[in-house]
């Protein structure tokens, strides 16, 4: 029986040579993530998603780059991984754990 695996990925990716605003390019990546059926959270500085393998995590990052490739000669990307065996649903679970300790919701 395969063990549960949670791969949380926080990343930012955008073209650097297309002007000041990046939202139209970030929206292309978000659209792709939604079409893939990936659980994610968009923040002001990055996107966080959760998948069940490193292979799927790197596949999503590669697809994000492919979304931007036609629009730019240079793409900036940074990614952080939190990989944990025996867990799942950590994208929301980690927030709920903090809220329980605070006794209230955060980021309403």
Please provide the DSSP assignment of 17-48 as one string.
SS-S--HHHHHHHHHHHHHHT-EEEE-SS-EE
User: Does the residue 63 lie in any domain?
Assistant: yes
The domain of 9 spans 5-102
Q: What pLDDT does residue 18 have?
A: 86
Q: Please give the helix or strand (H or E) that residue 6 lies within, else none.
A: strand 5-15
Q: What is the pLDDT of residue 69?
A: 95
- Say what the pTM is: 0.87
108 in a domain, yes or no? no
Question: Whole-angstrom Cα distance, residue 25 to residue 29?
Answer: 7
Task: Identify the burial level of 108 via C-beta atoms within 10 angstroms of its C-beta, where 0-12 means exposed, 13-18 middle and 19 or more buried.
Answer: exposed
Give the pLDDT confidence score for residue 27 in this predicted structure.
96
Compute mean pLDDT per 10 residues along the chain, 108 residues long, and list them: 83 92 94 97 95 97 97 95 92 88 86
CB atoms under 10 Å from CB of 81, counted, come to: 13
Is residue 107, in this structure, part of any structural domain at all?
no
- pLDDT value of position 1: 42
pLDDT of residue 108: 66
**CATH code for the domain in which residue 68 is found:** 3.30.70.930
Tally of domains in the chain: 1
């Amino acid at each position: 029986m395969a063990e549960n695996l949670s791969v949380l990925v926080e990343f930012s990716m955008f073209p650097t040579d297309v002007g000041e605003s990046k939202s139209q390019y970030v929206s292309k990546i978000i659209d792709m993530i939604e079409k893939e059926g990936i659980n994610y959270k968009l923040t002001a500085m990055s996107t966080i998603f959760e998948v069940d393998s490193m292979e799927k995590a790197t596949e999503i990052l590669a697809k994000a780059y492919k979304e931007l490739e036609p629009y730019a000669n240079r793409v900036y990307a940074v990614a952080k991984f939190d990989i944990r065996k025996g867990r799942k649903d950590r994208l929301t679970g980690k927030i709920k754990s903090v809220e329980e300790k605070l006794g209230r919701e955060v980021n309403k």
